[in-house]
Amino acid sequence: MPEQAVAVAVGIIGGILLFVLIGITAYLLWKKFCCLLSYEKLTSSVKTTNANAVFQDQSTSEIQPKSTRSRSIPFIIPPTLHGRDWINLTKEGHIQEGSDLYVIPPSGPRSSFHSLAGAYVVGTINQELYRFPEDISETDFPEGNIGRLWFSIEYEQESERLLVSLIKARKLQPPDDSCSPFVKIYLLPDERSYLQSKTKRKTLNPQFDENFVFQVSSKMLLQRTLKFLVYHVDQQKKHHLLGQVIFPLKNETLTDDNKLVIWRDLEKENLEPPSEYGDIQFSLSYNDYLGRLTVVVLRARGLKLQEESHAVSVYVKVSLMNHNKFIKSKKTAAVLGSPNPVYNETFSFKADQTELDTASLSLSVLQSVKGEKTHLLGRVVVGPFMYTRGKELEHWNEMISKPKELVKRWHALCHST
């Protein structure tokens, strides 16, 4: 009896285990069958969509004429992503649930990318938005330009040193076919000493990359002016001046941590000898819309100072007159002890366009010594035919004929009042 009971118990347990095993096997087979069925539905859906896309591509290419390919870059959805909850829409668009709408650009023929391996375009990327802006200083050269110079400056307060880096020059205009340029650098008003770069052989676009040091106190720094003279050496070793750059330091913020990189167009040096009382250079401009007359006092040369010392200061007084009646005057900052002062200061006056036939400008160069009376070194008047002739009249008329444009000229000083 006990043996029979044991046999019955073993049979019951074995049956239960067999039943569980059969159930697990049936569940796994059912799960696999469901997965295969969903995969076949997904594949057929993608193939249908791709077939429609290819058909639309072919029909569109037959109807639309050929045109130049867009410069845009197509943004493509790969085929592997087609089945991820994407819903077909009308007007050739696709959207993903819970996402923003992406619409295929309707205009223009489709490229070969559009039907490549079932991929389709949902948008384009504009290349122009990712271009770096061009440096116009390398490409924008005005008519009549004789060259351009790049340099940098910084000032070390502790050691009182002015650091000048000569970087490069471009588009030089030598008298010969070849050009071997070098640069002399002055720190005005000292015109007796200078620093010089190396000569670059046979190039119109020299790359210098040289550093120079001037010792100058912080108190005198803003009174100084950098002067660059660009020369060409010919085959006979003769030096020809190609142009110059004048750069006053008084308007610059020079510190240890502020390195200024600057470019300036070369100017032709005035090779004519100074007049009896010296010369002054300034620019005129008239804005007819604003009714504004602008004067830029640039520099003077060859002044006959009563006393040449650092105690002597020279400044320019600019006066607006109308019918020979004084209207308003402004003056530059004083430059100490130089017969060739550099100013680069701008002044504006209100003047109606109807007043240009009766208005005039008087520029007086004055010398002052501390504790003494101011002394007139020279004067020039520019204006209409009523008051002036020659170069002064030509300068005024050219200003009127070129509104909003700075017209620059040299003028001889005189002592007449």
User: What pLDDT, on a 0 to 100 scale, did the predictor assign at position 1?
Assistant: 63
CA 270 to chain centre: 30
Q: Which strands form 190-196's sheet, in the order they lie side by side?
A: 190-196, 181-188, 225-233, 239-248
Query: In this structure, how many other beta carbons lie within 10 angstroms of the beta carbon of residue 88?
Result: 12
Angle, vertex CA 280, rays to CA 406 and CA 162, nearest 5 = 85
Q: Write down the pLDDT at residue 132.
A: 53
Number of Cβ within 10 Å of residue 382's Cβ equals 23
pLDDT at 280: 94
Other CB atoms within 10 A of residue 18 CB: 10
The pLDDT of residue 103 is 46
Which strand (E) or helix (H) includes residue 40? helix 2-63
From residue 285, give the alpha-carbon distance in Å to each of 235, 267, 391, 404: 43, 19, 16, 6
Q: Give the burial string for 291-326 (b: 16+ CB within 10 Å, else e).
A: eebbbbbbbbbbbebeeeeeebbbbbbbbbbeeeee
The reported pLDDT for the residue numbered 81 is 59
Radius of gyration of the chain (CA): 41
Query: 415: which 2 tokens?
Result: 């002592």
Cβ–Cβ under 8 Å, residues 352 and 320: no
Polymer length of the chain: 417
For the chain, which residues score pLDDT lower than 70? 1-2, 35-125, 127-139, 255-257, 270-272, 307-311, 371, 416-417
| Residue 284, C-beta contacts closer than 8 angstroms, at least 6 positions apart | 293, 294, 295, 296, 361, 382, 395, 396, 399, 406, 407
pLDDT value of position 85: 53
What pLDDT does residue 39 have? 52
pLDDT in tens, 277-286: 899 999 999 9
Q: Which amino acid is at 87?
A: I
Give burial (CB, 10 Å; 0-12/13-18/19+) of 11: exposed
Are 187 and 224 spatial neighbours (Cβ–Cβ below 8 Å)? yes
* pLDDT for position 3: 72
Q: What is the DSSP letter of 97?
A: T
pTM: 0.52
Determine the pLDDT at residue 6: 74
